[in-house]
Amino acid sequence: MADQVDRILEQWQAEKPELDVSPMAVIGRLSRTALAVDSRLAVTFARYGLDASVFDVLATLLRSGAPYRVSPAALARDAMISSSAVAQRLNKLQSRGLVSRAANPDDGRGTLVALTEAGRRLIDAALAPHVETERTLIAGLSREEQATLVGLLQRISAAAAHDT
């Protein structure tokens, strides 16, 4: 069953026969798979009035454990985005009443973001359905295949991080 990536590879083979484009089979499919997964996850998020970036912030706060307080810097590291992107996300979340900001008593520069009761309820409701959606995406893979996939992804991640 030829897919989009297969057709692309055939085109390259015809136009640039001297170039071995086999890495595209792997890397190209990785990107496209990630996109397809993201768009599937977005469906579940939308049922709760969320998107991936909002879910990310709320989920990070939830899994930090009681009292559900995290610094903006930690949120940025975790979500792999800039600190200014975090500030903007928090502005929106705060105006929706899902998080609150307070000064960090131990560091005059710092802020601590906390889940409000409404934020807590929302992420608590969305979490299990989200994980369930993820589970359906990998349902076709055995435990062993899942472990294999994780191992291979880790090695590519390491290679990508290495010389960046």
Partner DNA sequence: TAGCAATGGCTAAGCACTTAGCTATACTAG
Partner DNA sequence: CTAGTATAGCTAAGTGCTTAGCCATTGCTA
Tokens of 138: 């990998």
State which of positions 102-121 bind DNA (CB under 7 A): 104, 107-112
Tokens for 50, please give them.
Answer: 């969320």
Residue 22, H or E segment:
helix 22-47
Q: Does 32 bind a copy of itself (CB under 8 A)?
A: yes
x/- contact string, 45-84, with DNA (CB under 7 A)?
------x-x-----------------xxx-------xxxx
Nearer to a copy of itself, 4 or 88 (CB): 4
The Cα–Cα gap between 135 and 132 comes to: 5
* Distance of alpha carbon 85 from alpha carbon 113, whole angstroms: 14
| Residue 2 touches which of a copy of itself, DNA, none (Cβ within 5-8 Å per kind) | none
Only one of the segments 82-90, 103-111, 114-122, 129-137 lies at the binding site for a copy of itself (rule: CB under 8 A); that segment is: 129-137
- Considering beta carbons, is residue 40 or 92 the nearer one to DNA? 92
Per CB under 8 A, does 17 bind a copy of itself?
no
Distance CA 120, CA 116 (A): 6
Name which of 5 and 45 has its Cβ closer to DNA: 45
Which residues are bridge partners to 113 per DSSP? 70, 101
Q: List C-alpha distances in Å: 51 to 47, 79, 80, 145, 157.
A: 9, 14, 16, 29, 25
User: Please, which residue, 100 or 133, has the CB nearer to a copy of itself?
Assistant: 133
| Three-state DSSP class for residue 68 | coil
Chain contacts with DNA (rule: CB under 7 A): 51, 53, 71-73, 81-92, 101, 104, 107-112
